[in-house]
Structure 1
Amino acid sequence: MGFVVFMVMGVYVLISFGTVALAVSYAKKRGKSTICWGLSAALVMYLIPCWDWIPTVVAHKYYCEKEAGFWVYKTLDQWKAENPGVLEILTTQRVPQNKFEQSENVSISTTIWNTRIYSTHKTQGPFFPNLWSREDEILDAKTGGILARYMDFSTSQERRQAGWSGWKFWLDSEDCIGGRDKAIRFVKFVEQLKGAEK
């Protein structure tokens, strides 16, 4: 599939050069500005496939700076102090119980780690332009309180499936800068609360 995309793009680049050359030729014959006509034709040919690139990059940067991150609302020590002896008796299944819900633009996966701890993974999108959000939370089943939260944003032309995110590969950004490190911190936090494996 990648080869076909690059072939089509190669043909498009050749057509773009031809269009610019025709615009410059037309401008010369009519006594118009060749630079203005050439740049205008180049801009139009660029915007046909790439009109959404700059808004996507700007929106991704904005949401990564304003809303992405990893937050711990209750540390392991605080939770253990509020629930003395509970962590020591918690057990988790080798394959934990999962529940999955999906609507048109939202998918939510809930993993039940033990009788007290569960986590949710929510993906939403696409938001204009080509933006997807990911929100992971770990919660206390008894109180309903959020213990930790991880939020990240990605960009792609289509929802990622088996490595494919659309032919506009220049829109593809899997996460915010530093997003993977924060995701690892979230996973490590979950690991501390899972309990012994059955």
Structure 2
Amino acid sequence: MMGLAYLVAFGAYLVVSSLIIIYAVTCARRKNRSSVLWGISAALAMFLIPFWDWLPTLLSHKYHCATEAGVWIYKTPEQWMSENPGVIETLTDNSSKYEYPNWPQETWREIKITSINQRIGYFKKDHLRTSEEGEIFINTWKWQTSLLDKKTGEVLAKIITFTSGNEGYIGGMHSLKFWLIQDRCSGYQEDWQKYKDVVSKLRGKAN
């Protein structure tokens, strides 16, 4: 139903834009001005009303993905296990008791952590290594997730990625400007997934 409403709205906007362009061309001819210039100017103005932020958003997403996104491994699962012999057998995976994302949360040094098990948890912003998260430019959003050893306070790994157009504008109705939506940065998500798969060994009961 919403899709039909969007089609109707865009159709109406195209009709209105066409009428305005025709009117601009007609006025230009009456005033002996360049009808081409007036027509192009009117068309550009009508295009920029809804799409003015499309190109800046696209370029911003590509730039930040290329310069800031990535996966940082501070301690491999093998290193963690060698430093904590026999601990794996004592851990209970919360996914065996709770349905994601309703895993238990706790506060660790004023940081809200989602617990994977008794030792490992994750949080969405790396408070230990200063980094801003949220909207950083027009419709461009930065997301950061870190895995933490709650006993030692060590950050085992983190991922930084970016999306665009997913929230925060036009009253939060992100689907209204669906052309701005860019998914998480590509090229390294596989590395993060592989790390998480290995970390599942630290959960007592792997997914």
TM-score normalised per structure 2: 0.79
The answer to whether the aligner puts 1:95 opposite 2:101 as a matched pair is no
Change in 2 beyond 3 A, CA 1:100/1:61: farther
Change in 2 beyond 3 A, CA 1:192/1:100: same
The answer to whether the aligner puts 1:171 opposite 2:172 as a matched pair is no
SS of residue matched to 1:54: helix
Amino acid in structure 2 at the alignment position of 1:49: P
Q: Give the equivalent residue in structure 2 for 1:117.
A: 120
Correspondences of 1:12-27 after superposition (within 5 Å): 12-27=13-28
Do 1:69 and 1:182's aligned partners in 2 also have CA atoms closer than 8 Å?
A: no
Report which of the two has the higher share of strand: 1
Do 1:99 and 1:110's aligned partners in 2 also have CA atoms closer than 8 Å?
A: yes
Do 2:17 and 2:43's aligned partners in 1 also have CA atoms closer than 8 Å?
A: yes
Deviations 1:79-135 (CA, angstroms, capped at 9, x unpaired) = 12222222233222323542389xxxxxx8632122211112349433331122221
Q: 1:138 aligns with which of 147, 169, 172?
A: 147
What CA distance in whole angstroms lies between the structure 1 residues aligned with 2:188 and 2:3? 27
Do 2:70 and 2:161's aligned partners in 1 also have CA atoms closer than 8 Å?
A: yes
Structure 2: segments with no counterpart, 5+ residues:
126-131
Amino acid in structure 1 at the alignment position of 2:82: A
Q: Give the equivalent residue in structure 2 for 1:52.
A: 53
Amino acid in structure 2 at the alignment position of 1:98: P
Correspondences of 1:4-19 after superposition (within 5 Å): 4-19=5-20
Once the two structures are overlaid, the 10-residue window that deviates more, 185-194 or 58-67, is 185-194
Once the two structures are overlaid, the 10-residue window that deviates more, 39-48 or 188-197, is 188-197
Amino acid in structure 2 at the alignment position of 1:12: Y
Q: Give the equivalent residue in structure 2 for 1:181.
A: 190
The answer to whether the aligner puts 1:62 opposite 2:71 as a matched pair is no
Amino acid in structure 2 at the alignment position of 1:115: Q
Do 2:106 and 2:115's aligned partners in 1 also have CA atoms closer than 8 Å?
A: no
What CA distance in whole angstroms lies between the structure 2 residues aligned with 1:110 and 1:2? 38
Structure 1: segments with no counterpart, 5+ residues:
102-107
Shift of 1:139: 0.8
Shift of 1:144: 0.8
SS of residue matched to 1:147: strand
Amino acid in structure 2 at the alignment position of 1:14: V
SS of residue matched to 1:133: strand
What CA distance in whole angstroms lies between the structure 2 residues aligned with 1:58 and 1:151? 18
RMSD of equivalent CA atoms? 2.6
What CA distance in whole angstroms lies between the structure 2 residues aligned with 1:66 and 1:100? 33
SS of residue matched to 1:166: helix
Deviations 1:118-166 (CA, angstroms, capped at 9, x unpaired) = 112349433331122221111111111111111111111525xxxx733
What CA distance in whole angstroms lies between the structure 1 residues aligned with 2:175 and 2:40? 28
